[in-house]
Amino acid sequence: MRYLVTGEEMQRYDENTSYQFAMEPLVLMERAALATVSVIMKEVCEIDYDTDYHGGDRLRLPSQKRNHRILVVAGNGNNGGDGLAVGRLLALAGFAVTFVRIGKEEPKSREVRHQIDILQKYGFPIQSKIPNGEYYIIIDALLGIGVTRPLVGEQAAAVTVIGRLRTAGARVVSLDIPSGIHAGNGRVQGIAVRADHTVTYGFAKRGHFLYPGADHTGKLIITDVGITPHSFLEQKPELFTYHGMADLKLPPRREAGHKGTFGKVVLIAGQRHMAGACALAGQAILRVGAGMVKVITHESNRSSLQVILPEAMVITYDNDRYDNDCCDKDGYDSGGCDNDRYDNLPEQLSEEVEAALTWADCTVIGPGMGQSAVAKELLRRVLSAGTGPVVADADAINLLGQEEPLRRLLMRATGRVTLTPHLGEFARLAHCPVTETGADDLDRVRAVAEELNCLIVRKDARTYICESGRIEGYLNTSGNSGMATAGSGDVLAGMIGGLLAQGLERFPAACQAVHLHGLAGDLAALEKTEYGVIASDIIAAIPVILKKAEER
C-alpha cells in the first residue's frame, strides 16, 4: 500500500519528524540529496554509485560520462536546498555542475542559506541566470510541494528554459515534484516542468498520479529519507493506493467449499438485445471466484446468453407486455409514466425475482438495463430487499439520479450499496455539471457518498473510492488508456459483485476489484496494445493475474 499525501500533509509530517523525533532538517536534507544522487547515477547515468563511490576520491567515471554537464536550477525554498546539496555531491563525484539560483531575494530557509555557504566554501559559484549551453542532466529544484498559485516572472521563465533544454536532449530530474505541479490535485499552475524522472521523499504525492501531473512526473522513484508513518502522529493521510501484485489480496478458498459457498450473485442487466452487458458482467463475476450467477434480463437475450454464458441461470421478462404506454421500443421511459409510481411485475416474474434476491449473497444491477418502468421496479425491489450487498451500475445509477423515491430508498439502505458511476453518471448523482467534476474531485466524491449513505467508485483515468463514514479514500493507479472501451465498466461491476459475494467487506472489495481490473487491463495492453484492448480481453487476463498473485 502507498499513501498519497498532499503538500500540506507532507509539510506536517516533515515538521513532526524534525520537532517530535529530533531529526535535524539539515540531516533530512543531506539524506534526501544522497538518495537522489544514487537514483541519478543508477537511472540516468547507469553507474552503481553505492558500490563505486564512498565519498573519498572522485568517482571513477567512465570516459564517456566525464564531460557530462549537469545544470542545477534551484529556488529559494527547501526544495532549492535539496537541489544545491544534490549538485554538490555530483560535483564532488567528478561531474561538471553549473549551479543556478532563481530569485533575487535572500532565502528565508536556514537550511538553504547553509547549503549556499557550503558551496561557497568549496569554491562552487552560484549563478543567477541559466547560461546557454548543452546539458546532459537538469536538476529541477526550482519549486517543491508548496506551489498553489500560477508561476510568473523569473520562475515561469526558468521553466520555459528547462523545457527548451529538454527538447534539445537534456534529461530532467525533478526533486519531490515537477516545478509548477500542485502536489494535492495534479494541476499545472500556469506552466510546469515536464520531467523524465521524479525523485520524491518519504511518500508519493497525489499530484504524481492525478492528471495532468502524472504526465509531467515521468518515472517516479520514492526514496526513504527518514520520514516514516511514525510522523503521522495519528493524522494519517486521507488517500492511499495499491501498487502491483503485492497488494492483491483476494478471499481465501476453502478446500471443502462448493459452488454455493463461494458466493451466489444475482445480475439484473440487459434490456432488449443487450446480451453483451449481461455476458461481460456475468463472466467477470465468475472469473473472480464467485460460484454461481443468476441473470435477470429481457427475453430477447436468452438465446445469446445460453451460448455466451452457459454457466449462468437465466430469468427473463418481456416488458412489451405491460409497460408499452410508458416506454419506447428500446425500453426507455418516454415520459408517460408517473415518476412516483412503478408498475407491478407479473405475478410469476415477481415471485422469481423475490426468490432470486433471497437466494443471492450479492446483487449487481444496471449494466445495459435501460430505464423502463420494469427497470425502475426491479431497482426498487433490490433497494427494498433489506439484506445483502448491492452493486448499482450504469442505468441503475441514472435512475437514482433522476428518481427521488429511488434516491430515498438508497439513502435508507445503510451500508449495503456500492455505486460505480463514470464522470457523467456521477455528475447526475451529484446534481452538478459534468464540467465541474474531474481528477481532483475527492472531496465531492466523499460528500456524495455521505449524502447517499453508500460507497462510490467514481470511475475515470484515476478512480476514486469513498465510503460514507470513512475518512480514508482510495485512488486507483493501475490500468491504462486501453481500458476506455465499451463494456469495461460492466466488467468492473461484475468483479466487485463477485468479491462481495465471497464475503469481502464493501470497501476492501471495491478497492481490490478496481486494482485487479487495472492490473488485468495492463496485462491485456501488453498483449494487444492500448489501441487494441476490448472488454473481453480484460476478463481473459483476470485468471492470469490471479495465477501470478498465487505464485508470488
Q: What is the CATH number of the domain that holds 536?
A: 3.40.1190.20
pLDDT of residue 489: 98
Q: CB count, 10 Å around CB of 215?
A: 13
Q: What is the pLDDT of residues 347-392, one digit of tens each?
A: 888 999 999 999 999 999 999 999 999 999 999 999 998 789 999 9
Whether 350 and 382 map to the same domain: the answer is yes
Tell me if the pTM is above 0.75: yes
pLDDT digits (tens, 9 = 90+) for 28-56: 999 999 999 999 999 998 877 555 554 44
pLDDT for res 441: 87
**226, 253: one domain:** no
Domain finish residue from 183, 218, 237 = 237
Q: Which residues of the chain have pLDDT under 70?
A: 49-67, 320-343
pLDDT at site 420: 98
Whether residues 111 and 148 fall in one domain: yes
Indicate whether 508 and 422 sit together in one domain.
yes
Q: Is residue 451 part of a domain?
A: yes
Are 299 and 397 part of one and the same domain?
yes
Domain boundaries, position 182: 2-237
Count of structural domains, the chain: 2
Indicate if 254 and 399 belong to the same structural domain: yes
Which residues, listed in sequence order, are joined to residue 327 by a DSSP beta bridge?
333
228 plus 276 within the same structural domain: no
Query: Is 408 among the domain residues?
Result: yes
Alpha-carbon distance of 168 to 211, in angstroms, equals 25
The pLDDT value recorded for residue 438 is 78
The single-letter DSSP state of residue 255 is T
Return the closest-CA partner of residue 99 out of 121, 78, 128, 122: 128
Determine how β-strand 464-467 pairs with β-strand 473-475: antiparallel
Same domain, 110 and 253: no
Q: Has residue 496 been placed in a domain?
A: yes
The helix-helix angle for 488-501 and 535-551 (nearest 10°) equals: 40
Residue ending a domain, choose from 193, 215, 237: 237
- The answer to the question of residue 471 being in a domain is yes
- Residue 353 and residue 490 share a domain: yes
Question: Dihedral of the CA atoms 76, 82, 83, 87 (nearest 10)?
Answer: 130
Q: How many whole angstroms separate alpha carbon 262 and alpha carbon 183?
A: 42
> Is the domain of 196 the same as that of 265?
no
Q: Do 279 and 327 belong to one domain?
A: yes
208, 237, 266 - which closes a domain: 237
Question: Is residue 330 one of the residues assigned to a domain?
Answer: yes
Q: What is the CATH number of the domain that holds 10?
A: 3.40.50.10260
With respect to residue 414, please indicate whether it lies within any of the assigned structural domains.
yes
Please indicate, yes or no, if residue 242 is contained in any of the structural domains.
no
- Residue 282 to residue 448: CA distance in whole angstroms: 28
CA angle 317, 322, 327 (to 5 degrees): 95
Q: Based on the fold, state whether residues 381 and 529 are members of the same structural domain.
A: yes
In a domain, 499, yes or no: yes
